[in-house]
Structure 1
Amino acid sequence: MTQELNLKLGLAPYDPWVLKKNLTETDLHHGGSLILPKQDFEAILREIGRGLVENLGNGVDVKLHIIEEGHESDDYTLTLVKGNGCYMLRGGWYTIAKAKGYKPNDEIGLTWDKWSRRFLFHHIK
């Protein structure tokens, strides 16, 4: 059995955001959690260490590195939880969203940085 190697080059710009989402009212209400699209987030889970994934039912503290325009960036610790068939970031998400001025329909991007073992987050538009 032989496999062909795809060597086609594309001209599209590199897009590091494995998960993209438009924020909803639910994501931004007081005390709320950032609900992550299951299928996209499960693509990220394949890159995360097994120990972290196995404990999601109880909630796991994870680092979130927010990348802003220019040279600005911030680090936070949030809790990643799996419950009712979905994944959520909570434990400070509302405070971050309020401080950053996020609004419904703002697009965000999320990916996992395996080298620093943290999530990278960006307000796309």
Structure 2
Amino acid sequence: MKGAKMLSLHCPDCMLPLFQKDETVFCPSCKKEFEIIESENGKTLKIKTEEKRDTRRENVHRKTVRADHDGNINTITEKIDRLFSRLLDKAMQTDNFHELKELIHLMKELSEVYSILKR
């Protein structure tokens, strides 16, 4: 945040100096906001940012990753189905076992990737 001033206090998590802009005290690395509480023993920090905000961000990230993951599984499944159809067609049309072996090998590799993604 441009124009913020660096404080002599440090973030308890990453140990970087905290910054203050207007009434907001924050860590530029962790993106956490703090409240400075002054007492007889000196200044102490209290995290101001609600955990709910971080949780929402994590949930959105998880949903995005999950959607990508599901999309990858669907793509692999479609490819395995297409390869299986080609394998059946080739098996009926040709005696070239080299092509059949290649198709089977590709299906096997995609099946292994599918198994890994399903875990």
TM over 0.5: no
- RCO higher in structure (CA 8 A, sep ≥6): 1
Instruction: Select the structure that is richer in helix.
Output: 2
- Structure 1 length-normalised TM: 0.21
- Structure 2 length-normalised TM: 0.21
